Chains A and B, each alone.
Chain A
Amino acid sequence: MKNIVHKKKVILALMLSLLAFFMLIELIQILQKESFPPAQLALLVEENIHKTGVTNPVTAVLLSFRAYDTLLEMGVLVLAFFGAIGLSGGGLEYNQLTKTSQHPILIKLASTLVPVMILTGGYLLWAGTHQPGGAFQAGAVLAVGGVLLSKAGLTDPLKWYPKLTLLFCTLGLTGFLLVGISFHLIGFHFLHHPQALSYVLIFFIETLIALSTASVLIMLYAIGRALLSPLGTRQ
């Protein structure tokens, strides 16, 4: 019996290496061609970027040309947040008894790094309009700051659990939808907006997305920690 399983693994490895080999040959042929289809997409972005109000092409794609994808991505984040709450089986309300011990070294580290992280997050958010950076990078940096704070025992994100966290975690999705729908009601296509307001609106939505990404990531960490904590309300 052991031999059969072993044989299956060898066959699988052989098939995968064949697949990898053919993928490699195909990709190398594509890479050596002069005219490469996606280049036309890059040209399209370059020709139309002046209409979006931002100069960073990645931000233009994310929040203007493919805004629909980003909207659904915020939906995925919100779903992951609600999924985590559902799977945790309740008992997440903040409880003074669940207060974790404070680590002196982590407190020093957090109080030094978190202000710098907030500053870096804000800078990345602003920089996203004209150079590499953007909402998700800013959100990730802010999230690490939040995780560090709760790791050090300085604060527990569950303190704000039902009301404020729900607001912040769904802020990106609802804000994005509200902007999209309100301009749709006055005659634009869904998720379209006037060119003159483009920069302001993109920056506004990016801010909401950064806050929302950071809160979802922090909450995903905090709910998981509450589940594993031996002092938690649930055993």
Chain B
Amino acid sequence: MTFISYTVAAITLISLGLYAIFTQVHFLKKIIAINIVGHGIFLLLVTLSKKAGPQNPDPVPHAMVLTGIVVAVSATAFALYLCRRIYDSSGRTSLPEDDTEEVKIR
């Protein structure tokens, strides 16, 4: 039962994050959404690794998650720098394509 609740939580995080990536316009919100998807996937991997054996969880997904966390942190930092750079040079906080859609709404 605990496996199923963790799986449900992981899939909820993944789908919420995916929805936000496609619908949110602001860069910061997109970065947060990507992180939420990533953490859903980490939760899923750790849940699956526990299934390998209650005493000895599978270490391979654990190592993948550990690698993933470090990569996610550094990629997020890099994305924030990109975001800041775009804001400094053009004053934008969203992509031009998304802007036109916003204008159309109004």
Which A residues lie at the B interface, using CB under 8 A? 1-2, 5, 9, 12-13, 16-17, 19-20, 23-24, 27-28, 30-31, 36, 38-39, 41-42, 45-46, 57-58, 60-62, 66, 69-70, 73, 76-77, 79-81, 83-84, 87-89, 134, 136, 213, 216-217, 220, 223-224, 227
Is there an interface contact between B56 and A73, defined as CB atoms closer than 8 Å? Answer: no
7 inter-chain pairs at a CB distance below 8 angstroms, sorted by A residue, are A24-B11, A28-B7, A36-B51, A38-B52, A88-B81, A216-B74, A224-B81
Is there an interface contact between A73 and B71, defined as CB atoms closer than 8 Å? Answer: yes
Task: Give how many B residues have a beta carbon under 8 Å from the other chain's beta carbons.
Answer: 45
Contact of A42 among B59, B82, B105 (CB under 8 A): B59
| Contact of A42 with B56 at beta-carbon distance under 8 Å, contacts A13-B19, A80-B77 already known | yes
8 closest Cβ pairs, A-B complex: A57-B59, A80-B74, A61-B63, A42-B58, A20-B15, A220-B77, A87-B81, A42-B52
Residues of A with C-beta under 8 A to B15:
16-17, 19-20
Interface residues in B61-78 by Cβ distance below 8 A to A read 61-64, 66-67, 69-71, 73-75, 77-78
B29 nearest CB across to chain A (Å): 14
- In addition to A136-B70, A224-B80, 10 A-B residue pairs with Cβ atoms within 8 Å of each other are A27-B44, A30-B48, A57-B59, A61-B62, A62-B63, A62-B67, A69-B64, A76-B71, A76-B75, A87-B78
Residues of A with C-beta under 8 A to B69:
136
Interface residues in B1-36 by Cβ distance below 8 A to A read 3-4, 7-8, 11-12, 14-15, 18-19, 22-23
Is there an interface contact between A9 and B61, defined as CB atoms closer than 8 Å? Answer: no
Query: Is B97 among interface residues, defined by CB-CB distance under 8 A?
Result: no
Residues of B with C-beta under 8 A to A70:
67
Query: Is B53 among interface residues, defined by CB-CB distance under 8 A?
Result: yes
Is there an interface contact between B74 and A220, defined as CB atoms closer than 8 Å? Answer: yes
Contact of B51 among A31, A69, A89, A136 (CB under 8 A): A31
Task: Select from chain A the residue with minimum beta-carbon distance to B73.
Answer: A217
How far is B71's CA from A134's CA once the two chains are assembled, in angstroms? 16
Residues of A with C-beta under 8 A to B80:
224
Is there an interface contact between B63 and A80, defined as CB atoms closer than 8 Å? Answer: no
Is there an interface contact between A23 and B52, defined as CB atoms closer than 8 Å? Answer: no
A2 nearest CB across to chain B (Å): 5
Is there an interface contact between B74 and A76, defined as CB atoms closer than 8 Å? Answer: yes
Query: Is B95 among interface residues, defined by CB-CB distance under 8 A?
Result: no
Residues of A with C-beta under 8 A to B81:
83-84, 87-88, 223-224
Residues of A with C-beta under 8 A to B56:
42, 46, 57
Task: Select from chain B the residue with minimum beta-carbon distance to A56.
Answer: B59
Is there an interface contact between A58 and B59, defined as CB atoms closer than 8 Å? Answer: yes
Is there an interface contact between A24 and B67, defined as CB atoms closer than 8 Å? Answer: no
| Contact of A20 with B12 at beta-carbon distance under 8 Å, contacts A1-B104, A61-B63, A77-B70 already known | yes
